[in-house]
Structure 1
């Protein structure tokens, strides 16, 4: 059987998750990507074809002139719509391209949730190049959030307190991204969480989620993720109801939401498996073949109807040491795998020593990721704190 996997830049989810899972399932894999050299350096034994994966017509043509497909899949935020259209073209199991668009396009998501009565958030859209001065006469609620309509990884997402600041922030982002449309929306108060789901056309499994801790405002950089085995049932019900209104449910989905005074409100929907090594941690912590489950669904196999057989005694945390200034990374810990007081620690650097970076105020500032799993949260937290206290990351301006 042949799996076509669409990708842009290489990711840990693909390298350590989906490609090994495809091998265990006995699948032939063809990677379609607009960055073939980057992928060839990491897995030279996989068939990799250059393709403008941002264009669904190019994807369909590349597949049609190569091996017959049994599944077309991506875990990229940027390529869900193209993948859905290509899979549907070949009559293969696929996400609804309309649902993929609603998830990717944050303005469409807000409009659709409001139109269906699921949730109404004050929101407006600035087209690429549109003068933000027009916002000064509108009823923008403050504080508000400005973000790219199709953005990822908290890039150029910023909290704004005053009208003059709104104009400044919009112009700054437009200067960096002249082709990007922007969304301005009310700030939603509450603790930030995620809900991780897996489903097919009939069954949806809730895999738990994470409590996300962010950098201080005005930016929204993820610093820490703590596993939550089960959110309160009313909260889960509210999030799932909103996903249903969006038409989201096939395959994996990573949903970010805030919970405040019993009310759950979606921040964004990432119609893919959770990234930043959370998916690798989730598979290990739950003791399930998560990546195989996802691929099987895209091959047309039904999701297990009831219990996935996941462990329920796990505790986990991820930490993302980050740069707080621009400069060259001159010292940092190496990769490490440790077992301390029953807690399994895996540290992986995300930026090589000697490389210079500007400060992005996003997840691109992460210097490394520490995954910790055990059976007691206090022990996990204490072990993580001890490991981080013993390390040093040095940046020279």
Structure 2
């Protein structure tokens, strides 16, 4: 009997394609359920089976599952996109299939509800306030900072996240966020904004599977006032004491939120030497972190997540103790993409570089990065030591950067 794995939408970069490939490798037929399958080029390129449905409505996805029962058995339901994790969990629960608690992941995705839950459980978090007006945002900024970070209560990829130096700027940015009725996927947004204290220390993430820590990741972020992730190092080169503190606070957060099924990605910042949870995402990490984990540690998180959705045990982790790093190409200002072939060849020639890619073609515009969509390419490196992996990624990035042509006059591309 044919076994199907329903993939509810996908992320547009990173692991979406790999979810489908791993499902096939595990003996299941992947079926992408999407409102617009054409959004994902790999559907056509890989000949991936797909079905069109309103993926904001679990009943519509259940209708797809019902149709597939004429051909076989739906064995699992999951999503590689954070936006659709609650829908996938709801459908899996309705079908009696493995998955996280739908109510828990829905609450977790609301950053305000998540903060309240973590704070009540004694997990260190930044000071915060959920506001619904400009005036409330300004008052919260003056009470919690300034400066403060202002962000949507529902979001991903640092979209709409900004450091605001004073109350008036916080109010203005909050007003802009509150005026948005839908996100980039067309999903409705609540009229709420999160204002939080700005933490100034180093940033990390902790990748967990269930309640087990897989690795601690050192994160690199671009220039303020935006929070674009420009690189990651796996595993983070930190003292044992700090590693244990980061791991402990992440597991406490996962348990407090009632997660503990499959992968979770917990973002943490230090303040006064103490780890504070910025947010927990009930999904695999983005930013090609699963690729780094596989290269450095031999643990395939994508395969593990797909196996869990299919009700199979996670594949054993390979005994590897290497290091991997990624650096993303971003522009400092307006410009265009130039000679890509030469830049890619140069980056790939660096010893230790495992992969290099550009996301734009010659002649396409570039601008200063304000969120993940403005990243222009990446270099991934692997080595037996953290310093060597980082250096290879940075050397490769320097060569990849030759593909950018900057314009002195911002008006040329704005």
Tell me if TM exceeds 0.5: yes
Match of 2:111 among 83, 106, 129: 106
Once the two structures are superposed, residues 4-28 of structure 1 have per-residue CA deviations (whole angstroms, 9 ceiling, x without a partner) of 011145333021x222211211111
Return 5+ residue gaps in structure 2 as ranges: 183-188, 408-412
SS at match of 1:82: helix
Question: Partners of 1:317 and 1:350 in 2: how far apart?
Answer: 19
More displaced 10-residue stretch of structure 1: 221-230 or 234-243: 221-230
Confirm whether residue 377 of structure 1 aligns to residue 386 of structure 2.
yes
- Give, in whole Å, the separation in 2 of the partners of 1:261 and 1:362: 27
Which residues in structure 2 correspond to 1:334-349 (within 5 Å)?
Answer: 335=344, 338=348, 340-341=350-351, 343-349=352-358
Q: Deviations over 1:218-273 (max 9, x none)?
A: 11111121112676213311221121101121111111111344522111112111
Q: Which has the higher helix share?
A: 2
- Cα distance in 1, alignment partners of residues 92 and 11 from structure 2: 21
C-alpha separation in 2, matches of 1:271 and 1:310: 26
Q: CA deviation at 1:93?
A: 0.6
Q: Contact conserved, 1:32 with 1:49, CA < 8 A, in 2?
A: yes
Shift in alpha-carbon separation, 1:24–1:174, aligned structure 2, 3 A: same
Aligned to 2:310: 299
Matched residue pairs, number? 385
Mean CA deviation greater in 77-86 or 42-51: 42-51
Structure 2 partner of 1:29: 30
- Give the structure-2-normalised TM-score: 0.85
CA shift in 2, pair 1:174/1:136, >3 Å = closer
Give the 5 Å matches for 1:263-282: 263-282=274-293
Cα distance in 2 between the residues matched to 1:349 and 1:176: 31
Counterparts of 1:38-57 in structure 2, within 5 Å, are: 38-39=39-40, 42-57=44-59
Does 2:379 match 1:367?
no
Asked if 1 retains the 8 angstrom alpha-carbon contact of 2:89 and 2:100, the reply is yes
**Kept in 2: contact 1:331–1:394 (CA 8 A):** no
Q: Cα distance 1:62–1:335, how it changes in 2: closer, same or farther (>3 A)?
A: farther
Change (3 A) 1:301 1:125: same
User: TM (normalized to structure 1)?
Assistant: 0.88
Residue 19 of structure 1 aligns with which residue? 20
* Shift of residue 294, structure 1, vs aligned partner: 1.6
Aligned twin of 2:258: 247
The root-mean-square deviation of aligned C-alpha atoms, in Å, is: 2.5
Residue 361 of structure 1 aligns to a residue whose secondary structure is coil
**Separation in 1, partners of 2:168, 2:231:** 32
Given that 2:11 and 2:81 are in contact with CA atoms closer than 8 Å, whether structure 1 keeps it comes out as no
Q: Are positions 1:315 and 2:323 aligned together?
A: yes
